């Protein structure tokens, strides 16, 4: 494709006038927010399991078709509580290709993360790869449903049963996603979700843990607060991890709009798929099962595309298209966790190739098409491709 426009890296005007963030927040109409908050203010009740948090726990368990949903302050706290509730010392097998919260939650819970490589297609750990990491110190496996794609629930369950290990999931990306027709929420002993502002379900921070295990639910409800009306089940530790009424108000409103937001995401995802299919060297990950389409994840093959992932991200930034290199460099490369003896081949490759493109409510299909066109323009800009180091570094 020949383009007349001078790309921003060569001094042209940016493709977008103002920054287009990787995630734009999904917002309900202001009148609905006002109405909901009038209720909160009118009741003078803001914390400690008010009516909205109670309602949210009920609606979440009903929506996700799971026995118990326990809402908390954020996704990281959901992971921390879930990990701490295991009350076991030892090692947990986990991917490194994830948001750092997954690993930090284990460390906060006093557990030792053991990094496992991922499958290069699914971007998740597999039962086969996990089995190679099991030692007599292993107590659990934490799978991550990355990009809302299921992390082998059946084979990991079978493996963990065979070895007597606990299985928990980081489902931060997974609200509204299904595996074999079943919503995420009931896999493993428990699953942790995030309702961060950048997620398809925006609780303005927030999260929850779901489980079908009544004892675990009781322990988690006890661990999340100090409120005297809670049960006094014996638990390892208690926190203030309660979701507020304000967060519950936002989450409930956002839940009502979830299916519309997912449908809009799907439209943009399909437009990206179409636009990027015409660009050799770029491939957008596929969603075979029902997904929330929140993440537009692209793998850059620099030899075919002609530019590296990092060059493309830098050039797009100058166009006001703000992408993310999730999850570079991989948590196993953090100084705290780095082991010279550890090599995660697929993780290393993906950390250098994957980027996330913008998606969310503030974007139209035209915007998606414009982003795809801009990528063409950057690739076709010979001057830039040859001298990129001088232009953007
Ligand atoms: N497990 C996994 C696998 C996760 O991906 C995450 C979080 C967690 C656990 C932990 O869940 P939480 O504790 O966060 O509930 C973002 C999010 O902060 C994070 O929630 C998310 N995963 C991660 C994948 O992405 P950042 O630091 O890369 O992006 P951030 O927060 O700067 O937001 C991206 C852009 O979105 C901003 O540059 C501007 C825009 N934005 C953001 C916020 C917060 C807005 O326009 N408005 C906003 O209010 O981590």
* DSSP calls for 27-86: ---HHHHHHHHHHHHHHT--SSS-HHHHHHHHHHHHHHT-SEEEEES-HHHHHHHHHHHT
Question: Ligand 1, residues 22, 99, 151, 360: which to mutate, most atoms within 8 A of Cβ?
Answer: 99
Q: Is 327 in the pocket of ligand 1 (CB under 6 A)?
A: no
Q: How many whole angstroms from 354 Cα to the centroid of ligand 1?
A: 17
Q: Is 102 in the pocket of ligand 1 (CB under 6 A)?
A: yes
Query: Is residue 81 within 8 Å of residue 259, measured between CB atoms?
Result: no
Distance CA(64)–CA(257), nearest Å, equals 15
The strand pairing partners of 148, in sequence order, are: none
Q: Is 219 in the pocket of ligand 1 (CB under 6 A)?
A: no
Give the pLDDT of residue 69: 98
Q: Is 198 in the pocket of ligand 1 (CB under 6 A)?
A: yes
Q: How many whole angstroms from 282 Cα to the centroid of ligand 1?
A: 24
- Which residues fall within 8 angstroms of residue 16, CB to CB, at 6 or more apart? 319, 320, 321, 367, 370
Q: How many whole angstroms from 387 Cα to the centroid of ligand 1?
A: 33
Task: Report which protein residue has its CA nearest ligand 1's atom 12.
Answer: 75
Q: Which atom of ligand 1 is nearest to the CA of 24?
A: 46
Q: Is 373 exposed, middle or buried (0-12, 13-18, 19+ CB in 10 A)?
A: middle
From first to last of its 393 residues, what are the pLDDT tens digits of the chain?
Answer: 555 789 999 999 999 999 999 998 999 999 999 999 999 999 999 998 899 999 999 999 999 999 999 999 999 999 999 999 999 899 999 999 999 999 999 999 999 999 999 999 999 999 999 999 999 999 999 999 999 999 999 999 999 999 999 999 999 999 999 999 999 999 999 999 999 999 999 999 999 999 999 999 999 999 998 765 666 678 888 899 999 999 999 999 999 999 999 999 999 999 999 999 989 999 999 999 999 999 999 999 999 999 999 999 999 999 999 999 999 999 999 999 998 889 999 999 999 999 999 999 999 999 999 999 999 999 999 777 777 766 665
Distance CA(335)–CA(142), nearest Å, equals 22
Provide the 8-state DSSP code for 319: T
**pTM attached to this predicted model:** 0.96
Q: Is 75 in the pocket of ligand 1 (CB under 6 A)?
A: yes
**Three-state DSSP class for 323?**
coil
Q: How many whole angstroms from 25 Cα to the centroid of ligand 1?
A: 10
The strand pairing partners of 24, in sequence order, are: 360
Distance CA(211)–CA(217), nearest Å, equals 7
Give the pLDDT of residue 358: 97
Q: What is the SS3 assignment for 351-388?
A: HHHEEEECEECCCCHHHHHHHHHHHHHHHHCHHHHHHH
Q: Which atom of ligand 1 is nearest to the CA of 170?
A: 1
Task: Report which protein residue has its CA nearest ligand 1's atom 37.
Answer: 21
Give the pLDDT of residue 17: 96
Task: Report which protein residue has its CA nearest ligand 1's atom 47.
Answer: 25
Q: Is 170 in the pocket of ligand 1 (CB under 6 A)?
A: yes
Helices (H), the chain: 30-43, 51-64, 75-85, 100-108, 127-131, 153-163, 214-223, 245-256, 258-277, 302-305, 309-318, 345-353, 365-380, 382-392
Question: Ligand 1, residues 196, 324, 360: which to mutate, most atoms within 8 A of Cβ?
Answer: 196
Q: Is 123 in the pocket of ligand 1 (CB under 6 A)?
A: no
Give the pLDDT of residue 134: 98
Give the pLDDT of residue 340: 86
């Amino acid at each position: 494709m020949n383009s007349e426009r001078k790309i921003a890296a060569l001094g042209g005007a940016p493709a977008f006038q103002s920054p287009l963030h990787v995630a734009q927040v999904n917002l309900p109409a202001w009148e609905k927010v006002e109405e909901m908050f009038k209720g909160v203010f009118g009741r003078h009740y803001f914390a400690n399991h008010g009516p909205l948090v109670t309602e949210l726990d009920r609606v979440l368990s009903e929506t996700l078709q799971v026995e118990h949903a326990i809402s908390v302050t954020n996704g990281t706290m959901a992971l921390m509580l879930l990990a701490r509730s295991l009350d076991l010392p030892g090692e947990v097998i986990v991917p490194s290709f994830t948001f750092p919260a997954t690993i930090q939650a284990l460390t906060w819970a006093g557990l030792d993360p053991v990094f496992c490589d991922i499958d290069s297609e699914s971007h998740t750990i597999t039962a086969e790869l996990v089995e190679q990491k099991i030692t007599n110190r292993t107590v659990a496996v934490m799978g991550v449903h990355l990009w809302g794609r299921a992390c082998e629930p059946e084979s990991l369950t079978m493996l963990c049963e065979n070895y007597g290990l606990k299985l928990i999931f980081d489902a931060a990306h997974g609200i509204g996603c299904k595996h074999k027709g079943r919503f995420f929420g009931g896999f493993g002993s428990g699953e942790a979700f995030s309702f961060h502002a950048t997620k398809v379900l925006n609780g303005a921070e927030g999260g929850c843990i779901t489980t079908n295990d009544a004892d675990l639910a009781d322990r988690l409800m006890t661990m999340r607060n100090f409120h005297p009306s809670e049960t006094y089940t014996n638990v390892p530790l208690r926190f203030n991890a309660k979701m507020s009424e304000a967060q519950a108000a936002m989450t409930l409103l956002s839940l009502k709009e979830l299916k519309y937001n997912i449908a809009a995401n799907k439209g943009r995802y399909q437009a990206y798929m179409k636009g990027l299919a015409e660009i050799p060297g770029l491939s957008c990950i596929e969603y075979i099962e029902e997904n929330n389409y929140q993440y537009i994840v692209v793998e850059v093959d620099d030899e075919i595309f002609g530019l590296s992932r990092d060059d493309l991200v830098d050039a797009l930034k100058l166009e006001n298209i703000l992408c993310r290199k999730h999850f570079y460099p991989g948590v196993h490369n953090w100084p705290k966790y780095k082991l010279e003896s550890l090599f995660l081949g697929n993780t290393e490759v993906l950390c250098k190739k994957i980027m996330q493109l913008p998606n969310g409510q503030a974007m139209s299909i035209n915007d998606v098409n414009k982003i795809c066109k801009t990528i063409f323009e950057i690739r076709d800009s010979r001057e830039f491709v040859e001298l990129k180091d001088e232009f953007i570094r």
